[in-house]
Amino acid sequence: MSNRFNSPAPGGPVPIAPMVYVREKSVWQYKILIRGVAQGPNEDELNALGKDGWELAAVLLQGSVAHFYFKRMKD
């Protein structure tokens, strides 16, 4: 059984990455909520944002402050 895909030999063939074609450029909207770590968004607020199409993309903690980054496709 060949193991060439799991660990190519040094100087051996390099795996080819798949090509991805994008027909339309995606345009995003962003929203940032800034809250104290202890007072983050509650479940109702998160559900309302999700209903409006917002997706939580990242959370950045800076000391006692949390930045919640949301994104959605622009209409």
Mean pLDDT of the chain, nearest integer: 86
Are 41 and 33 in contact by the 8 Å Cβ rule? The answer is yes
pTM: 0.65
Interval 12-36: pLDDT, tens: 788 888 888 878 888 999 999 999 9
Mean per-residue pLDDT for 34-51? 93
Gap between the Cα atoms of 61 and 34, Å rounded: 10
| pLDDT confidence of residue 6 | 59
